[in-house]
Chains A and B, each alone.
Chain A
Amino acid sequence: MTTLQTAGQEAAAKVLEKFTSATRHEFRGESTVTVKLEELRAVMEFCRNVLKLNFLIDVSSVDNMGEEPRFMMVYELAKVDDSVHLRVKAAVAEQQADAGEVPTVSDLWATADWHEREVYDMMGIRFSGHPDLRRILMWEGYPYHPLRKEFPLAGRPSEMPDVAFTGEAPMADGPFVTSAGSTSRVQGEPRAR
């Protein structure tokens, strides 16, 4: 697997060469570059057109609630022949997320269209230049972004007549709930009961 690591490191080095403010992180043979949000679009274009990373595996987002900037966009890039793998990250502040300051990459990789819709739906990060930024999993009009940390797992009640409604799930007891305060993880597992 050394060739794969080397190819990823090479790609990361090239990004760093071009964008001097980017930082690089290696972990178990995986290369990650972290760039400024303002440079994200240029970095992605560079990766697509110069490094020829023609496969966008995934777009995801992380909520680091309590930290500033709050969100992190994560792009997994690769080549279709799997010879290179590079991860690109960019921090996004809450105001930037609301204001739609994250540039879309859906014109570079068509697959980003739905990925970005999902990020918008679940995390509430808006993308500028996206051709059709609608919710993808929840329905238009659902008032929350459920993967944000302040949103409770049990959900919140909402109501859209004739479209959908939501309620709050009971989180106490039931056969699938881990027991809180048990002495060991094994004892706390639902199947231990």
Chain B
Amino acid sequence: MVFSQARVRTRTRFREIVMETSKETSADTSADASGASSFATADAAGAALAHASYDSKIEGNVIFTRVDAAINWMRKNSLWPMPMGLACCAIELMATASSRFDISRFGAEVMRFSPRQSDVMIVAGTVTYKMALAVKRVWDQMPDPKWCIAMGACASSGGMYRSYAVLQGIDNLLPVDVYISGCPPRPEALIEGLMKLQAKIDGEESTRDLKAAAPADSIEA
């Protein structure tokens, strides 16, 4: 499948990557398909096509891959977290975002306090029943596609608070993609969880999901 610039809304970012890839390729004198296939998401069929269609005039504008792979790759490297910091775990979340641990290395540094602009909710802390429906409401306001990380024992299971006041795991209310153990988890653990989420996003069937969610004529693919 040809994946050309006009097809995808986020094409500017995508093209930057294409350019980088093609720079690598031009260093390679044989100029075969290695450039296209070094793009991590190209599958075997795509690589074969790339070889046949190599043309230096359009190099840098055309790349072969699956739409799913490209979309997933874009999504997973620019996750905008909704920091749902509710207790002590939020301190570690802040540490993760700060200079020493630097979550921006994984493209997830843009913490948004508006649910409309975020796509991964990091539930960091003890979810009391009083707060639970507010968390749910913020989650409902986040646009699809969205993911949820339950950070720490409290968000995952109520933790040590086996009590009348604490929701026994945020998964009672929202679908959780990644659970992170620890009380609190170290920033490394949160980063590991984020990488797990990236791996999960990488395997999603985004085009199918988009088609299922949107009217058929709004997507060309």
Residues of A near any B CB (own CB < 8 A): 137-139, 144, 146, 151-156, 162-167, 169-171, 174-177
Chain A neighbourhood of B133, CB < 8 A: 162-165
Encode contact with A along B119-132: 1 for CB under 8 Å, 0 otherwise. Answer: 00000000001101
Tell me whether B158 and A169 are in contact (CB under 8 A).
Answer: yes
The residue in chain B whose Cβ has the minimal distance to the Cβ of A174 is: B162
Secondary structure class of chain B's binding surface, majority of residues: loop
A138 interface neighbour in B130, B153, B161, B166, Cβ under 8 Å? B130
Taking A164-B133, A165-B133 as given, write out 7 further A-B residue pairs in contact, using a Cβ cutoff of 8 Å, ordered by the A residue number. A146-B165, A153-B164, A163-B133, A165-B129, A167-B129, A167-B172, A169-B166
Chain A neighbourhood of B164, CB < 8 A: 144, 146, 151-156, 166, 169
The CA of A162 and the CA of B168, in the complex, are separated in Å by 19
B187 at the interface (CB under 8 A from A): no
Tell me whether B168 and A169 are in contact (CB under 8 A).
Answer: yes
The residue in chain A whose Cβ has the minimal distance to the Cβ of B137 is: A162
Tell me whether B129 and A164 are in contact (CB under 8 A).
Answer: yes
B210 at the interface (CB under 8 A from A): no
Tell me whether B129 and A170 are in contact (CB under 8 A).
Answer: no
The CA of A119 and the CA of B52, in the complex, are separated in Å by 79
CB distance from A5 to the nearest CB of B (A): 38
Encode contact with A along B136-157: 1 for CB under 8 Å, 0 otherwise. Answer: 0000000000000000010001
B160 at the interface (CB under 8 A from A): yes
Residues of B near any A CB (own CB < 8 A): 129-130, 132-133, 153, 157-168, 172
Chain B neighbourhood of A153, CB < 8 A: 162-164
CB distance from A111 to the nearest CB of B (A): 23
Chain B neighbourhood of A166, CB < 8 A: 129, 164-165
Pick the most buried of A154, A169, A175: most chain B CB atoms within 10 A of its CB.
Answer: A169
The CA of A50 and the CA of B123, in the complex, are separated in Å by 52
Chain B neighbourhood of A146, CB < 8 A: 164-165
Chain B neighbourhood of A144, CB < 8 A: 164
Between-chain CB contacts (< 8 Å), 7 pairs: A154-B162, A162-B133, A167-B167, A169-B166, A170-B162, A176-B159, A177-B162
Chain A neighbourhood of B161, CB < 8 A: 169
CB distance from A98 to the nearest CB of B (A): 21
The CA of A176 and the CA of B167, in the complex, are separated in Å by 16
CB distance from A155 to the nearest CB of B (A): 3
Chain B neighbourhood of A137, CB < 8 A: 130, 165
The CA of A174 and the CA of B165, in the complex, are separated in Å by 18
The CA of A163 and the CA of B132, in the complex, are separated in Å by 9
CB distance from B150 to the nearest CB of A (A): 16
The CA of A164 and the CA of B137, in the complex, are separated in Å by 12
CB distance from A63 to the nearest CB of B (A): 15
Chain A neighbourhood of B166, CB < 8 A: 169
CB distance from B202 to the nearest CB of A (A): 31
